[in-house]
């Protein structure tokens, strides 16, 4: 590598670590992060955050961590997660955020499959992480967040102490180098590692800031976990605009409302159930929520009454953001009060300005409005591929489109309507049955907390529609009554042939139902 090539790369590259350096240079005195370790408020300006990330980067160099190697990050939300992300981005070290709510076998698999050489973990998760590292010969460094070393090789504070805060400008980072690698939730198989490039993340941040009109020096409330792409997809546009992120480890109604009042929060991304809990809080109308301007909901739709209640309480716009780990969110947005052909439904909306969106058939032909097919996208936000899985990578990029694995249609208003996961569609008696449609019918029956519809082998129908439901509270459910209810709302071929009442459903670490386990468990139901 020549000095000329390095200099040219530093000048023109698209790299996530440079984002923080630029914000520190221009807005170093502005507040970047707020979190609450041990219940005490802690603040970092952009200059302080950048300095700490540089010091951690130099600490990792001193411990022999090299560009292109993997560093796993296992923690609940805290400012040192951002420090770790940006230290690695600056070094060209690939961050592997681990969902600690997975079962230990999946955590061990993540660490082994990724070929991680270093692990940064939160002290309270030591009992989860350390057994999963046992016997892993690739791991040569483990770091415990905080000042206590515990059973780790070194504490984060000791790693950083005395290190230079000089910028890391001695290495070429290419636009399509992998910045981080997030494992999918594995609803159908083992989790797959999604390689996301620096270019993908920067374009997603720029697009998010543009599409959502993120305020300069605004304030975002962060509650969704930072090991998930949804949290990162809103954090980076905020940082790009020199905004302040108020970090909470978990969702607490009163703590959220307090934060909006005290820190003048103007935007947040939450799950529908969280928005509903906030608007149901006693005395919420007496709160000063006048700073709040933008609400994002994700993972599921919200009904008109719930949306109106949020608008009434917070006085804000409410947009739905959609995408996936494999296509740095958001790929599309359903903007507040957009016109639709079918009224309510799980609308995903229109593509963001940097993305093409279409619906295609199994031969790669683009389908006209109103026809159901697979949702596909094109754009710089697409993943580079699945790590060590060329077959799945090739399948996801057939016909020159990124395949989402989801089914949908584009209505007469140009809005994308999600129908079902492609692999969750049930083929019964020659008809395609949407598992989501069946689940919506089940959930409209009083007393059902969770519902999952799936197909199992049937000697006559090929596949039979089967459902598993979890009662809410102490509610007693009757299978025949539930099926009769479904007959009033669904076509004959869509009505479940069997409804199993269960205590719980098998879930992934991100709360998605593992239907593959249900199919295996009940595969002989009609044999």
Average pLDDT over residues 104-124: 96
> Cβ distance 27 to 244 under 8 Å?
no
Encoded tokens for 292: 């709040």
The yes-or-no verdict on residue 188 having pLDDT over 70 is no
Q: Give every CB contact of residue 209 below 8 A, 6+ residues apart in sequence.
A: 237, 240, 241
What is the C-alpha separation between 269 and 214, in angstroms, rounded? 13
- Report the chain's terminal Cα–Cα distance, integer Å: 65
Where in 298-447 does DSSP place strands (E)? 317-324, 327-334, 347-351, 356-360, 373-378, 385-386, 402-410, 416-421, 426-428, 431-433
Helix axes 16-27, 46-62, angle to 10 degrees: 140
pLDDT of residue 379: 98
Which ranges constitute the DSSP H helices of 387-501? 390-396, 435-443, 479-489
Which ranges constitute the DSSP H helices of 452-505? 479-489
> Cβ distance 31 to 190 under 8 Å?
no
Average pLDDT over residues 273-288: 94
% of the chain residues with pLDDT over 90: 82
Torsion (CA) 194, 195, 200, 205 in degrees, nearest 10 = 60
Domains along the sequence of the chain with CATH: 4-16+42-196 (3.40.50.12780), 251-421 (3.40.50.12780), 425-522 (3.30.300.30)
- 464: alpha, beta or left, given left = phi > 0 and alpha = psi -120 to 50? beta
Lowest-confidence pick of 17-26, 35-44, 302-311, 470-479: 470-479
pLDDT of residue 186: 58
Look at 493 and 196; give whichever has higher pLDDT.
196
Q: Is 347 exposed, middle or buried (0-12, 13-18, 19+ CB in 10 A)?
A: buried
DSSP 8-class letter at 32: E
Look at 399 and 191; give whichever has higher pLDDT.
399
Summary mean pLDDT of the chain: 94
Strands 193-197 and 178-183: antiparallel
User: Tens digits of per-residue pLDDT, 213-256?
Assistant: 999 999 999 999 999 999 999 999 999 999 999 999 999 999 99
pLDDT band at 344 (very low <50, low <70, confident <90, very high): confident
How many residues appear in the chain?
527
Q: Give every CB contact of residue 100 below 8 A, 6+ residues apart in sequence.
A: 74, 75, 76, 107, 125, 128, 129, 227, 509
Q: What are the phi and psi torsion angles at 146 (to 5°)?
A: 110, -165
Q: Give every CB contact of residue 38 below 8 A, 6+ residues apart in sequence.
A: none
> Cβ distance 107 to 100 under 8 Å?
yes
What is the C-alpha separation between 284 and 315, in angstroms, rounded? 13
> Cβ distance 90 to 57 under 8 Å?
yes
> Cβ distance 111 to 38 under 8 Å?
no
The yes-or-no verdict on residue 441 having pLDDT over 60 is yes
pLDDT of residue 187: 54
What is the C-alpha separation between 379 and 392, in angstroms, rounded? 19
Place of tokens 């992998």: 178
Q: Is 138 exposed, middle or buried (0-12, 13-18, 19+ CB in 10 A)?
A: middle
Q: Give every CB contact of residue 251 below 8 A, 6+ residues apart in sequence.
A: 223, 270, 274, 277
């Amino acid at each position: 590598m020549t000095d000329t090539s390095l200099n040219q790369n530093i000048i023109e590259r698209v790299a996530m670590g440079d984002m923080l350096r630029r914000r520190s240079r221009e807005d170093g005195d502005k507040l970047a992060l707020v979190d609450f370790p041990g219940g005490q408020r802690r603040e970092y300006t952009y200059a302080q955050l950048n300095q700490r990330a540089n010091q951690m980067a130099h600490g990792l160099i001193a411990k022999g961590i090299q560009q292109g190697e993997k560093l796993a990050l296992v923690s609940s939300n805290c400012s040192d997660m951002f420090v770790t992300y940006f230290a690695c981005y600056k070094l060209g070290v690939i961050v592997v955020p681990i969902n600690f709510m997975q079962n230990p076998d999946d955590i061990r698999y993540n660490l082994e499959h990724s070929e991680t050489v270093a692990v940064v973990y939160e002290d309270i998760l030591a009992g989860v992480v350390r057994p999963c590292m046992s016997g892993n010969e690739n791991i040569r460094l483990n770091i415990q967040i905080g000042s206590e070393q515990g059973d780790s090789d070194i504490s984060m504070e000791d790693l950083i102490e005395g290190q230079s805060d000089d910028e890391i400008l001695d290495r070429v980072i290419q636009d399509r180098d992998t910045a981080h690698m997030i494992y999918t939730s594995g609803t159908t198989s083992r989790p797959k590692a999604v390689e996301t490039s620096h270019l993908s993340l920067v374009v997603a941040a720029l697009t998010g800031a543009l599409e959502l009109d993120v305020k300069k020096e605004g304030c975002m409330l962060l509650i969704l976990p930072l090991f998930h792409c949804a949290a990162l997809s809103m954090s980076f546009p905020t940082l790009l605009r020199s905004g302040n992120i108020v970090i909470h480890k978990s969702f607490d109604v009163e703590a959220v409302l307090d934060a909006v009042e005290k820190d003048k929060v103007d935007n947040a991304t939450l799950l529908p159930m969280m928005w509903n809990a906030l608007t149901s809080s006693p005395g919420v109308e007496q709160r000063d929520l006048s700073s709040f301007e933008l609400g994002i909901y994700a993972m599921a739709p919200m009904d008109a009454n719930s949306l109106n209640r949020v608008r009434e309480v917070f006085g804000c716009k409410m947009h739905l953001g959609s995408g996936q780990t494999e296509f740095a969110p958001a790929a599309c947005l359903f903007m507040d009060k957009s016109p639709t052909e079918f009224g309510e439904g799980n609308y995903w909306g229109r593509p963001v300005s940097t993305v093409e969106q279409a619906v295609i058939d199994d031969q790669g032909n683009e389908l006209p409005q109103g026809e159901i097919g697979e949702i596909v996208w094109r754009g710089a936000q697409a993943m580079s591929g699945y790590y060590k899985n060329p077959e799945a990578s090739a399948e996801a990029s057939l016909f020159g489109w990124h395949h989402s694995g989801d089914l949908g249609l584009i209505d007469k208003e140009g809005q994308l309507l999600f129908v079902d996961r492609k692999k969750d569609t049930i083929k019964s008696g020659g008809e395609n049955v949407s598992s989501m449609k069946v689940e919506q019918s089940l959930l409209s029956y009083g007393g059902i907390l969770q519902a999952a519809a799936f197909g199992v082998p049937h000697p006559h129908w090929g596949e039979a529609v089967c459902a598993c439901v979890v009662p809410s509270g102490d509610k007693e459910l009757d299978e025949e009554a539930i099926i009769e209810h479904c007959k009033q709302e669904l076509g004959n071929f869509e009505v479940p042939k069997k409804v199993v009442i269960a205590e719980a459903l098998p879930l992934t670490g991100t709360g998605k139902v593992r239907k593959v386990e249900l199919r295996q468990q009940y595969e002989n139901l009609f044999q």
